Structure formats: C-alpha cells, structure tokens
Structure 1
Amino acid sequence: MMKTLCALLSKLPIKWKIMLWSTGIMCILFAVYNAAQFITLGQWLNNQERVSMQKSMAQIQEYYQEKKTVLDVDQVRNSKSYLEKIIERRQLIRILDQNGLQIIAVSNRLPDDWVPPEESYQSLFISVWHDNEHLLVLRSPIHTDHFQGTVEIVNNLETLDQISNIILVVMVIAGLGAIFFSGFGGFLLSKQLLHPIQSLVETIQNIKVKGLQERVRPMNNNDELSRLAHHFNDMMDQLETSFQQQKQFVEDASHELRTPLAIMKGHLSLLKRWGKNDPQVLEVSLDAAIQEFQRMEGIVQELLELTRSESDHPEALIEIVKPSAFVQQCVERFSSAHPNMVFETDLHFTESDAIEVVPYQLEQVLVILLDNAVKYSADNNVVRINGMKQNHFVKIRVTDSGIGIPSDELPYVFDRFYRVDKARSREGGGTGIGLAIAKRLVERNRGKITIMSKEHYGTTVTVSIPACSKTE
C-alpha cells in the first residue's frame, strides 16, 4: 500500500507535489499544535475544578475544626444549613461516619445515589462515571474529639466536558479550514513559483515545433527562477547563432568544394572520351585537375586552421615578443615568395615595447593579411606595413591600394567563406576563410582586429594587441 502511494505521488506534477507537501506539513503542525493546546487547556480547566473543590473542602474542614471540642454526630447533623450555603451548582456534599454510613447529604442537582459513599483515611481525588455523567470526587477525613468520619464532595463535570467539546469542535473546524486554506495557498504558491519553469517548458515545446527562435518571456523578478529563464534565453541565443553558423558553414563549404569537384569531373570525362590519344587535351585537363586539387587542398587546410583556432587554448605557448623585430622578420620571409611586390615597412616601436602572444599565431595573422593584400592589390604592387604603440596597445596595420571593399560589405568580411567579389576571388584562389581565422587568432591573444576600406582605393586592416606592462 505504501509503495503504491509513493509511486502515485512520484508521478504527480511538481505543482501538485508542492501543494500536497505544504498542505500535509501544515496539517501535521496544526494538529500537533491543537492537540497540545487542547490537552493543556483541558488540564488547566480540570485543575481549576480541583482547586475550587479543595477550597470548599478547606472551608468545611475549618468549620468543623472550630468545633472540635464539642463536635459529635448531632452537631454534624445540625451543620446541614451551613453546607447548603456553601454548596455549588451541580455538586453533592456528604458527611460519613467512621463506618462509611451517611450522616447528612446536601445536593444541588446531583443525586446522591450516583456515587456510593465510601470512607477515606486520606485526602484524594477520584474520577468516576455514572452512565454518561463524568463525576469528580474529593474525599477527606475528619478527626475531632468526639467524631471521626469522612467529608465527600462530588462535582458534576458536565460543564467542563461541554466546554472541552466546544473547544474540540472549534479546533476541528479550524483545522479543516486550515487544511483548505493551506492547500489553496500551496496551490497559489506553487503556481507562482513554477510559473517561470512552466514558461520554460512551453518554450521548449515551442522550440520543437517552431524552431530555435522561441524564447522564454522576460520577467521583472530577480529571483533564481527568473535568472534561470534569462540564462536559458542567453543559451538559446548562442545555440541559434551556432546552428546558423554551422548551417552557413556547411552550405558554403559544400558550395566551395562543389566547384572544383565539378571541374575535375568534367576534365576527367573529357580525358576518358578524347584525351587518351590527344596529348594537348591530356595536358590541359591534367593541369586543370591539378590546379583544382590544389585549391581543394587549400580549402581543407584553411578549414582545419579555423577549427584549430576555435578549439586550441595554448596558454603554455605564450611568449613575450618584441613587435619591431617580429613584424620585420615576418614581412621579409613573406616578401621572398612575392618578388614582384613591394613591401614598405614603417615601424615606430621602441626596445621596451613588447606583447604577450603565441608567436606562430601572430605570424599566421600577418601572413593572412599580407596574402590578402597581395591578392587584391590589382595593378598596384605596393603593400604598406605600419606599426606603433598607442594607448597601451601595439597596433600593426597592413594597407593595400587595390580594389577595396564596398561599405555595405564591410560588416560581413570576417564571416566564414564570405567574399566580396566571388568570381574574382575564385580566380585568385581565395576561399573567404582567411579573415575569419585571423579574427579568431587575434581574439585568442586578447586583441582585436578592425578593417577600413574604400572601393577602388584600397583596404587597411589594423591588429591591436595589449602591450606588456613589464618586459623581461
């Protein structure tokens, strides 16, 4: 039975669990409090009744002790008028002799046959029942010179029991009311507390149907659940951005790889049909296939570099680098592969200027920028490299005087596979990944990269990296 109940409770929604638990706890607390209150109040009323009976007994004892020298059976019988004066409502007072025989009895709405007389040698309380009547009996001995016996006082506790019953009924009604209001309050409380979670559940369900653009409605509270909803929205923003980037990445990569594959397939088909016996067709098709293969190899290599730049955390490879000598060496190595280009360097660094970077990553950034400058210089074969320290940043600028970039295209040049002039870039071998890699590597070295360009006048890319406060 208990296992079945636990299984049923475990299947309930959290809202109902909170309501049931809060109601159950309130019921237990209220029941314990009411029980303690009822018992305490009942004992207090009972003690008050006993105190009242003891006062009456003390008055009677005092009355008889004043006459101890002359008190006998006749004097006891003559004391009936006194007992009638002090008797209380629903009370019986009896005087018994030493043999337990009744001498006198005074009653106020309490028949003397309800309680059989009984002699006593010490004061004591006895609780008895006559049918449905609850009676409390106090017996105390009398000792005088000429008389020995017992005084009996019997009180009917009907009034006390009625008061107790009324209190019990009130407490039960109050308890039932408390159960109802605690349940209702628990329901409202659980509904209020779980509103952000319910909103979160609805949003997740909507995401399954409508897509990643769904968000939890903003709340003005600053509690933990509201912050949970806020963090969920932030996570969904990042997730949506990631999926969009992944989708764009797959689309662009498939588009980029589809072109060289189609060209290679076309030339291979041409070779199969006519190139076996035609040396000229064979030569042209092989050269085209090799060229497209090299371009595919470049795309794959840049994809690997981009993935590596996003996943690596080479803190152990960070070194303190002097920018003047480092930039000069990178330019010299790159210029040796492009003898037709002129590379003008204008570096304004001092011996104390230094930066903390991963050297091979900074070199890769410079190679990407110089390579882009060479590709898009058009008929102008001059590339300028400037360097300076400004506002606690070491800044390196690469400027060309080539085809430039339209202003409406500038916000997208750091996106993967984005190319301003797709046809011209394809002819020049560009894939649109280089600037995305450069941006990621610069950010990994706590720097930033910006670009300024004017169509037909050239482009300037600036890399800014925090300067070292101390150098070795």
Structure 2
Amino acid sequence: MLYYLFFSVLSFAIIIISVNKAIDYFSFITIEKQMMEKADLSELSFREVLANHERSKAEGQVTNVPRSALETLKATGKEVRIYDRNQKLVGLAVNGIIVKDGHPLIFKDNIENALQGNYSYKVTDSKLLYFAVPIQDMYYQNSYVFEFVEDISYFYAILDQIRSILFVGAGGFLVLITFSSLFIARNTTKPIIYLLGATEKFSNQQFQPVTMNRKDELGMLADGLNRMGIQLNHYIQYQKQFVSNVSHELKTPLAAIRGFSQYLHEEEKKDPELQKIYSHLVQESDRLTRLIDELLLLSRFDKAGPEEIDTERTDLSELAHRVAAEMRLKAEDKGITLEVKPGKAAFVEVNPLLMSHAIANLIDNAIKYSDAGTRVRIETSVRQKEAVIQIRDQGIGINEDEIPRVQERFYRARNANSAKGSGLGLSICKEIVEKCNGSLVVESEKGSGTTVSIVLPLFGSYKTVTRLL
C-alpha cells in the first residue's frame, strides 16, 4: 500500500512541476504576443514619421526624425529609446518626458539583433522587459532601432499568485487523496487479508465460518468461501468417519486371522515351505494391525476436544533421552549410531505418553531410512520461549517439492520404497504436537539426510494454556 501511495505522490509531484513549467511557458508566449502587437503599432507610427520626413524633405523643409519619432512614441513605454544604424542612442524618453544626455542601461546584443531585422527582447532581474524593434526606411534598410522598456513585475506577481493557488490546491488535493487512499485501502485490503487468512485456515483444515457484512463482490466471495468451507468440512469429516468405521470393522476379523496364522505357524513342524508361508501371514497381519491402530489413533485425535487428553509439566530433554535409550538397540541392530546431545531442562506442558510416541516415531523413521554406518543425532535446546527437539539423520533425504506433503496422511515420498511404511507416521506426530500447541518442522535434502524438529512453547510462556486430556 505504501509503495503505491509513494508512486501516486511522486506522479502527482511530477504533474505539478509540469503544470508550473507550462504556466511559465504559455504566460511568456502571451506576453510576447502582446509586446509584438505593441511593437507593430510602434513600427507603423515610426514609419509614418519617416514618410512625413521624406515629404518635408521634398518640400525643402528639414525635420529631425529621432526627435519627431520620440515626440510621437514617448508614451509607449516606461522608457523609449531610438538608436541609429551605428547603434548610437539618438533619443531617450523616460515616463513620457524626453531626456537629453541620458545614460541608460543599454543591451548591445539586443540592438545588434534588431539591426539585423529581428524583434529582440531581454528581461532583467528587476522585471524590466527591453523590446527592440527594427525600423526600415523607404529603401527597406534597417536605419533605426526603436526600443521600449516595459515593467512586467505585475506579470510575475500574477504568476506567483497562480502558483500559490496551484500549490495550496495541490497540497489540499494531496492530503485528500492520501486520506482517501488510506480509507479505501483499509476498507479493501482489510477484508482481503481476512479472506486470505480464511483460505490459509482452510488449507490447514480449520473450517471456521467466514462472515462479512458486505453486499459487494468481496461479500459474495466471502459467502462462496464459507459455503466451500462447510462442504469441505463435511466431506473431510465423512472421510474420517468412514476410515474410522472401516478400521473398527477390520480390527476383529484381523485379530482372528492373526491368531489362526500364529497357530498354524507354531503347529507346522514338517513342511518348511508352509511354515514360511504362515510366518509371512503373521508378519502381514502384524503390519495391518499396526496400520489399523494408527488409523484409530488418528480417528481419536480427530474426535478429541481440548479437554479429552491430560497434559502435565514435563522435562522435554529428559523425555527425549529416555525414548532414545529405548530405541538404541534397534539402531545398533542396523549398524546405526544413536547420539543424544545432553541439553538443559526444557519444561513443556504435554501428554508424556503421546509425546514419547511422537519422538519414538521420528527416531524410528530416521533409523528406517538411514544406512548402516551413519548417525542419528537427537538434540534438545531452548530458544526464546520455545523448546525444540531435533532428530537429524544422514539418510536418503526427501525431494524439495515433496517436503510440504510428507505430513499428509498416507503420503509417502517417491524414494521411500526402501522401507516399509503406511504413510501415517508423520501425520500422527503432527497431530500429537499440534494438540500440544506446537509445530512439526521438516528440513531435508535428497541424499544428505533429514532434520525433523518438534517445536513446543515452554511451560507458562503463553497466557492461555490449552488443556488436552
């Protein structure tokens, strides 16, 4: 907004300067035209004096041309001068009175230019205009120069008044357009920002009502977003309910399949091939059981309100150390070194069991997607009003374009086929962390490893503490 306002003011300033220049230019054009009309009349009067002189000369009478011309034209201007072809001052009148032996200010270039047959004028700092007019004799030769002096200070006074009015009006208009722009921007950008916030919440599946008391296009857009949010929310809730129902329905028959498979595996002693098949059935049953358990856990999060999960003051550093100790054997079996960097106490308000599950899930992912001989590092730190756990591995990494999607349910990265998984692990971790008012941050580079950070507010660092049971 300030960017556009700045350029509006700049454009307006350029327009004002251009208008000011145009006023100067066209005003001088006008005054020049007036002076030329006056010069034409003076030239006609002077040429009439020359014609009378020629008639008198023919009759044997002698007349003084400069004197006669000065008598005729002495009231033409503030000062009136007459020069001969040698640029000699031969007549001078000041305020209508003929002056002898005067020594006025003379601009020789003005006189020289007039003797070449051109109108010529000069304006001094004292606002006096010296206008020189060439006078031709009967042989069309420039014999004299008639120069009159005009006081044009009144003209500059008028221009100053026009400029004052222009600048005062421009200033008032600028103030008006500034406040108008701010008013329009406030009434336009504020609802747009509100709608952008609503779409951002929609992308995070936070379907809050979008209400705007407007009858214009923005109001119509808000109504459309509101209807879309309601429909999306119904669809997602229906989808979640469907997954939950299916998971519940599958759990009982799957438990029976797993039990019979385990019985067949334990009882089969004779045929190694059948025993291998039964073992595979048991493993797949276990995998499906874990998948259903994860789906049911997510379903529970979807339905849980803020009062349904207990939280307590917990040292996040100690919790991470305890979970890492439980995962160390699994890391060593795969030839991976599990490092835990000791950190100072970082107290947060979480459900210890669920947060342990989230940390264990992240460490398990780091081990699962890393090769033997690499390291997985767990580090807890405190920054400002936040506690952070970082699980950093040296595994296969994630493509940059897939990082925003890896926390979605059932999404698996393109290079994740090297290990088995359901695509729900990070989703569960995200749900657990967000229920504790935190966030899950994933940073990765393909081939160089992944860093997953759990960021939680320190205990007592926010005024409204959400109680999760």
Relative to the length of structure 2, the TM-score reads: 0.45
Relative to the length of structure 1, the TM-score reads: 0.45
Larger radius of gyration: 1
Larger RCO of the pair (alpha carbons < 8 Å, separation 6+): 1
